[in-house]
Chain A
Amino acid sequence: MGEQMFGYEFYVDPSRCIGCQSCVNACAECETHRGTPMIHVDFLDRANSISTVPFVCMHCDDPTCAKVCPADAIKQTEDGVVQSSLKPRCIACSNCVLACPFGIPKMMTELEQMMKCDMCYDRTSEGKRPMCATVCPSQALAYVPREQIERTRRDKPTNVFLFGKQRVTTKVFMMLPPERDALSVDVVDYMWEAKHESAS
Chain B
Amino acid sequence: MKAHRNPEPLWRDEFSIHTADERYVSRRQFTKFLVLTSLGMFAGNLWILLRSAFSKTPVYSEQSICRANDVPVGGVWLFRYPSEKDPCILIRPDQDTYVAYSQKCTHLSCAVFYSPEKDRLECPCHEGYFSVRTGNVLQGPPPRPLPQVILERRGDEIVAVGIATRKET
A27 contacts B by Cβ under 8 Å: no
Q: Is the CB of A78 within 8 A of B19?
A: yes
Q: How far is the CA of A198 from the CA of B79 in the complex (A)?
A: 92
From A72, which residue of chain B is reached at the shortest CB distance? B15
A-facing residues in B121-160 (Cβ within 8 Å): none
A24 contacts B by Cβ under 8 Å: no
Q: Is the CB of B15 within 8 A of A76?
A: no
Chain B hits for A167, CB < 8 A: none
Q: How far is the CA of A63 from the CA of B19 in the complex (A)?
A: 13
Q: Is the CB of B20 within 8 A of A74?
A: no
Q: How large is the interface on B (under 10, 10 to 19, 20 to 34, 35 or more residues)?
A: under 10
Chain B hits for A67, CB < 8 A: 17
A66 contacts B by Cβ under 8 Å: yes
Q: Is the CB of A66 within 8 A of B17?
A: yes
B118 contacts A by Cβ under 8 Å: no
A156 contacts B by Cβ under 8 Å: no
Q: Is the CB of A77 within 8 A of B17?
A: no
Q: Is the CB of A75 within 8 A of B19?
A: yes
Q: Is the CB of A77 within 8 A of B19?
A: yes
B18 contacts A by Cβ under 8 Å: yes
The digit string for A112-143, where 1 denotes a CB below 8 A from any CB of B, is: 00000000000000000000000000000000
Report B's interface with A, CB cutoff 8 A.
15, 17-20, 22
User: Can you list 7 A-B contacts with CB-CB less than 8 angstroms, sorted by A residue number?
Assistant: A63-B17, A66-B17, A75-B17, A75-B18, A75-B19, A75-B22, A78-B19
Q: Known contacts A75-B18, A77-B18, A78-B20; can you find 16 more A-B pairs with CB under 8 A?
A: A63-B17, A66-B17, A67-B17, A69-B17, A72-B15, A72-B17, A74-B17, A75-B17, A75-B19, A75-B22, A76-B17, A76-B18, A76-B19, A77-B19, A78-B18, A78-B19
